[in-house]
């Protein structure tokens, strides 16, 4: 029969492992609905989708592809849309040769 401290350590190690797995799964389970809520969609419906889909990557891709529902509210009616100006990553050399 193994010593009692070994049985205790095995039980504590198992508990810590189960706790870590539960924290990771909870984070993944609530991550997608939180992202959907930030984009203006319902938290509860996306939580149910996440539970049914089981695959968090699939739901994250779907949320990323959805349009932001608050994008049209950010600017007043009749205001021109803001265009993004692209700048080069490396500044051009302006020194004269």
Give the model confidence (pLDDT) of 8-23 as tens digits.
777 888 888 999 999 9
Q: How far apart are CA 28 and CA 35, in angstroms?
A: 11
Domains held by the chain: number: 1
- How many Cβ atoms from other residues are within 10 Å of residue 66's Cβ? 12
pLDDT score of 20: 95
Asked, for residue 29, whether it belongs to a domain, the answer is yes
Half-sphere exposure at residue 13, Cβ-oriented, CA atoms within 13 angstroms? 6
Measured at the CA of 68, the angle between CA 66 and CA 71, to 5 degrees, comes to 150
Residue partners of 10: CB distance under 8 A and separation at least 6: none
Asked, for residue 76, whether it belongs to a domain, the answer is no
Inform me whether the pLDDT recorded for 78 exceeds 70.
no
Asked, for residue 80, whether it belongs to a domain, the answer is no
Asked, for residue 71, whether it belongs to a domain, the answer is no
pLDDT score of 23: 92
When pLDDT is averaged across residues 59-88 and rounded to a whole number, the result is: 63
Six-digit token string for 32: 């997608």
User: pTM of the entire structure?
Assistant: 0.44
When pLDDT is averaged across residues 33-58 and rounded to a whole number, the result is: 80
Which residue range is the domain that position 26 belongs to?
Answer: 4-65
Inform me whether the pLDDT recorded for 74 exceeds 60.
no
């Amino acid at each position: 029969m193994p010593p009692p401290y070994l049985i205790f350590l095995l039980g504590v190690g198992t508990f810590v492992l189960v706790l870590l797995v539960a924290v990771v799964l909870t984070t993944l389970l609530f991550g997608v609905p939180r992202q959907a809520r930030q984009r203006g969609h319902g938290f509860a419906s996306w939580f149910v989708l996440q539970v049914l889909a089981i695959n968090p990557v699939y739901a994250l891709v779907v949320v990323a592809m959805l349009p932001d529902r608050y994008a049209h509210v950010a600017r007043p009616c009749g205001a021109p849309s803001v265009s993004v100006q692209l700048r080069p990553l490396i500044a051009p050399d302006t020194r004269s040769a």
